[in-house]
Structure 1
Amino acid sequence: MPCQLPADCLNEIFEYLEEDKSALHSCLCSIAYQHRPRISLKILSTLVACLPDESKEILYKNSILISTPTSNPPLFNYPVFCKILSINDICQIIHMGLNIKSSTSLSLKSRNCLVINEFIKMFMNQISALKKLIYISTIKFYYQLSQTCHNLQLLAIDFEPKPVSNELKGLISSQKNLKNLSLSAFDGGDWTDILSSLIKHSNTLTKLYLNSDNGNLPLSFVASFPNLQQVELSFFFGGVYSKIFERLQYATFPKLQILNIPDDFPEPEYHNNVLNLSIAELCPNLKKLFVIFNDDELDTLRTIFNSCRYLESIKFNCGQGFIIEKEILEIIAKHSPENFYELKIYNNSDSNLFPEDLENFFISWKSRTSKKSLSLIIIKDYEYNSLEVNEENMEIINHYKNSGVINFKIREYDDDDN
């Protein structure tokens, strides 16, 4: 018998469970089915059970026979509660599931397209608050989405070297609460044509990711988004960072919390105390930070800690030419803000941190008024010896770990770089 709980009540339940990914990952449409045929068939059967009678009749007339889990209606009408929809995953589920069982005389392509179309119609007609859509799309599909999907919060677009369609511009403009935007342009692709559509979201956008191998992009438009909390700039060609800082040097982002430039460094004329000091001046609300500190920038690091009082996490490159570990620990002990709790260290040469330096730091941390445990994370480079290689260091780390003063982890890469 179908569930009789009101839809608003079910929405509350799914929203709560969605916060715990181990309990429920965005209802049915974000299930990690691991591309296994049997699992795909089970998901496919459940989706078929949710199809409206008209769609079931179309499949039946084309001899596409997919059994449902039971003869009764589903306990929940899953499409209504879907928040994250991956069209590509749906296509993969259909492809793998129908490869196991199908009696139709249609060609493989025609059969799959027919089923995909019916599923997409079902989701588009029933989803009331889609937050994230993943699809490598067509112009026609952009138009259909712009007519039905107005509540997307995350939009990721990859540009090809051809004009941006009006349909895509319409999809962007039709959103009411766009918060997270990812733009990637390769092989000459350009997002210039959609800037007028993006500016409409200047008050709602909080996360921005720009990725390109094209140096002729109008980056000054980033300054139009004063509420940005997270920015990532990833460009794969020489000289671009000098252009970025030239175009954005007068922009102010008072709510910025995370700034990530993972793939390159600014040109030498920008990579100095002026750049790092500008972070302290213009980004007082930062929570996470990874920038390069040279070995002569201790005062700059102190200034950042004193100015960015909400800073919770910082990542350092340590070693030859960079600020050394002992000095980092001394400054963190004396100047890090109350909310600070996470230190990441990547060594580009052998660590020379002595046990007494490490213990003095842990003693200072233990006496802090905030009493937060320190999360100490070593990003491992197997070409060099980091601090955990020293057995005495590990004895001290384990002692303070067991007493709850610190948490200690060793990683092969930084999760924030993915």
Structure 2
Amino acid sequence: MRDITYTLPYVCLSNIFQHLEKDQRSLHSCVFVNKQWCMSAIPELWRNPFESPDQQQIALINTYIACLPHVIQQRLRITSTLTQPVTFNYPAYIRSIPVNLIFLTVMEWCESKIEAETPCERMKKELSKALCRNFLSQAAYIDCLDITSANDLNIFRLYGASSKLPQIHNLKVNNEYYSDQFKTISRLCQNIQSLIICQTEHIKLGNYTDLVKIVKAQSKLQNLSIESQNIEGFKVVWNGLVTSPHARKSLISLTIEHIYFDPTFYTKFLQQLTIFENLERIVIKKWFIDQLNQDEIQAPFREFKKLNTIIVKQYDLPLEILEPVFQYSSTTLHTLQLKRLQNYNLERVIELLSTYCHNLKKFIAPVTINQSLTIEELFKGCQQLEYLHIYHPSFDFKKVHPLNCPQYNVFNAMDVDEYLLKLKHIFPESLRTFKVYFIWFFSPSVLEKFLDGLMIGKDNGILEFCFSQGLSEEHLEVVKKYPKNNIKLI
């Protein structure tokens, strides 16, 4: 029987390969399966090549040079070092143009390939322009544009920009001022759905006015990220956002980074946050505040209508910042994820959640091993909980694999036989996923009592104890008795 994967329609293969967008090695392997797979995988492999860490940068530029018209190659006096003609028109597949990364990649190529007598600095800029111009000319459409630190290369002045760039849905800028580039964006690009504003500290406030024009021009803006080290500049952009009738209805996700609030502005900020009718997600990074005026915060605010997810990425977040956010999202908050937070008062967080957020369904947080023995209070206060994942603050999901971690010896071990049985009796009925990344000791007999009649792990859930110690064949035999619980002991 013929393998069905060899005869799938192109659209099916394309949809499959889109899920491998960040796995360049797997995508590259798919190219060599057969001709059909190659034709479907190549567009995905080349849609955003400059941001791929696995890509050979010099080879990448050589390929794109080979795709330049010969007249351009002759004018720049450059040639590709590829030994064979290119098989595809690779610029046609690009969907993201990160101007600064293109310039840096060209710079690397120039430093390794350009002859000494060639004016290298001029060549870097001219070749970068030629590549960007070719992308604008050949690409079917451009979805993402990043003009942060663009080295004075104004892409909007290149031929093809006025026809291709109005299509972009994702834009990343900072408030470094390149001529009238921001004014051009607000006039041409009005279909942006995701906007990232990376601000720097020493910028004239007048430049923020043009950023506001970009924000107000977007009728479909769903995701906004603002990094600001200049509180006065942030206030200008924030005022533009809250006075935009489009953003009030369209905004779904908001990320704010590096803000030092004064108490009066924070109170106003909270009140204005609630006017975004469809806001579902807030990401908090580096929020700081002077002493909070609790009387003003406790004044009656309008509650969030749809805010269901709060993500905190900060080592030292003052918890008083979170209390009013929890209070005014009390009925809607479903997910709380704390990242990199250390030395914080977990008991206070649980107290706030138990007081305000009875509908919480998902809780993810770094905790110490001693703090892990207090989570029953969270179960008592949040009876709708479906997903719990706690892990040691030193655990690094990106760099450390649970099976290969020499630093686990810094994690204190703890016997949890009695605690496991105690937990079982207070688990919320809705809990389906329970993941613990600590060195917990428990005996096979206690494990069997714990699993008997337990619903956790069923209905696509997971029961997972990562890097637990003292596991034996007896533990594994117990696990085999409960195949429906999706149990992982690592």
State TM-score, norm by structure 2.
0.61
Q: Do the aligned partners of 1:310 and 1:339 also contact (CA within 8 Å) in 2?
A: yes
Task: Assess, with a 3 A threshold, how the Cα gap between structure 1 residues 13 and 121 changes in structure 2: closer, same or farther.
Answer: farther
Give the partner amino acid of 1:131. D
Q: Which residue in the other structure is 1:192 paired with? A: 209
Give the partner amino acid of 1:307. T
Q: Do the aligned partners of 2:97 and 2:145 also contact (CA within 8 Å) in 1?
A: yes
Residue 132 (structure 1) shift: 1.9
Gaps of at least 5 residues in structure 1 are: 1-5, 382-386, 410-418
Q: Which residue in the other structure is 1:414 paired with? A: none
Task: Assess, with a 3 A threshold, how the Cα gap between structure 1 residues 318 and 14 changes in structure 2: closer, same or farther.
Answer: closer
Q: Do the aligned partners of 1:186 and 1:214 also contact (CA within 8 Å) in 2?
A: no
Of 175, 193, 203, 1:179 maps to: 193
Deviations 1:216-252 (A, max 9, x none): 5322222222222222333455x54632532552451
CA RMSD of aligned residues (A): 4.7
- The correspondence of residues 95-106 of structure 1 with structure 2, limited to 5 A, is 95-103=107-115, 106=118
Task: Assess, with a 3 A threshold, how the Cα gap between structure 1 residues 92 and 203 changes in structure 2: closer, same or farther.
Answer: closer
Question: For 2:112 and 2:389, how far apart are their aligned partners in 1?
Answer: 48
- The correspondence of residues 89-238 of structure 1 with structure 2, limited to 5 A, is 89-103=101-115, 106-135=118-147, 136-137=149-150, 138=152, 140-144=154-158, 145-160=161-176, 165-183=179-197, 184-190=199-205, 191-215=208-232, 217-218=235-236, 219-223=238-242, 224=244, 225-226=247-248, 227-235=250-258
Residue 122 (structure 1) shift: 0.7
Identify which of structures 1 and 2 has the higher relative contact order when contacts are C-alpha pairs closer than 8 Å and 6+ apart: 1
Q: Secondary structure at the match of 1:18?
A: coil
Task: Assess, with a 3 A threshold, how the Cα gap between structure 1 residues 181 and 91 changes in structure 2: closer, same or farther.
Answer: same
- The correspondence of residues 70-85 of structure 1 with structure 2, limited to 5 A, is 70-71=84-85, 73-74=86-87, 76-85=88-97
Q: Do the aligned partners of 1:234 and 1:263 also contact (CA within 8 Å) in 2?
A: yes
Q: Secondary structure at the match of 1:263?
A: strand
Q: Which residue in the other structure is 1:42 paired with? A: 59
Give the partner amino acid of 2:225. L
Task: Assess, with a 3 A threshold, how the Cα gap between structure 1 residues 114 and 317 changes in structure 2: closer, same or farther.
Answer: closer
Task: Assess, with a 3 A threshold, how the Cα gap between structure 1 residues 258 and 301 changes in structure 2: closer, same or farther.
Answer: closer
Q: Which residue in the other structure is 2:362 paired with? A: 340
Q: Do the aligned partners of 2:195 and 2:221 also contact (CA within 8 Å) in 1?
A: no
Task: Assess, with a 3 A threshold, how the Cα gap between structure 1 residues 328 and 33 changes in structure 2: closer, same or farther.
Answer: closer
Q: Do the aligned partners of 1:66 and 1:102 also contact (CA within 8 Å) in 2?
A: no
Q: Secondary structure at the match of 1:188?
A: coil
Q: Which residue in the other structure is 2:309 paired with? A: 287
Q: Do the aligned partners of 1:344 and 1:376 also contact (CA within 8 Å) in 2?
A: yes
Question: For 2:65 and 2:340, how far apart are their aligned partners in 1?
Answer: 52
Q: Do the aligned partners of 1:233 and 1:262 also contact (CA within 8 Å) in 2?
A: yes
Task: Assess, with a 3 A threshold, how the Cα gap between structure 1 residues 406 and 152 changes in structure 2: closer, same or farther.
Answer: same
**1:56 pairs with 2:114:** no
Task: Assess, with a 3 A threshold, how the Cα gap between structure 1 residues 340 and 67 changes in structure 2: closer, same or farther.
Answer: same
Residue 361 (structure 1) shift: 6.8
Deviations 1:330-381 (A, max 9, x none): 9669965364142344x7xxx75485x45x579x69xx88764x22134349
Residue 118 (structure 1) shift: 2.1
Q: Do the aligned partners of 1:233 and 1:260 also contact (CA within 8 Å) in 2?
A: yes
Question: For 1:287 and 1:170, how far apart are their aligned partners in 2?
Answer: 34
**1:265 pairs with 2:283:** no
Give the partner amino acid of 2:350. I
Q: Secondary structure at the match of 1:94?
A: helix
Task: Assess, with a 3 A threshold, how the Cα gap between structure 1 residues 14 and 101 changes in structure 2: closer, same or farther.
Answer: same
Give the partner amino acid of 1:379. P
Give the partner amino acid of 1:221. G
Task: Assess, with a 3 A threshold, how the Cα gap between structure 1 residues 87 and 77 changes in structure 2: closer, same or farther.
Answer: same
Query: Which deviates the most, 61-70 or 169-178?
Result: 61-70
Residue 84 (structure 1) shift: 1.8
Question: For 1:231 and 1:195, how far apart are their aligned partners in 2?
Answer: 16
Q: Which residue in the other structure is 1:307 paired with? A: 331
Question: For 2:441 and 2:253, how far apart are their aligned partners in 1?
Answer: 32
Q: Which residue in the other structure is 1:384 paired with? A: none
Residue 301 (structure 1) shift: 9.4
Task: Assess, with a 3 A threshold, how the Cα gap between structure 1 residues 318 and 214 changes in structure 2: closer, same or farther.
Answer: closer
**1:405 pairs with 2:467:** no
Question: For 2:219 and 2:282, how far apart are their aligned partners in 1?
Answer: 18
Gaps of at least 5 residues in structure 2 are: 1-8, 29-43, 396-409, 417-437, 452-456, 468-490
Q: Do the aligned partners of 2:304 and 2:332 also contact (CA within 8 Å) in 1?
A: no
Task: Assess, with a 3 A threshold, how the Cα gap between structure 1 residues 263 and 329 changes in structure 2: closer, same or farther.
Answer: closer
Q: Which residue in the other structure is 2:34 paired with? A: none
State TM-score, norm by structure 1.
0.70
Q: Which residue in the other structure is 2:264 paired with? A: 242
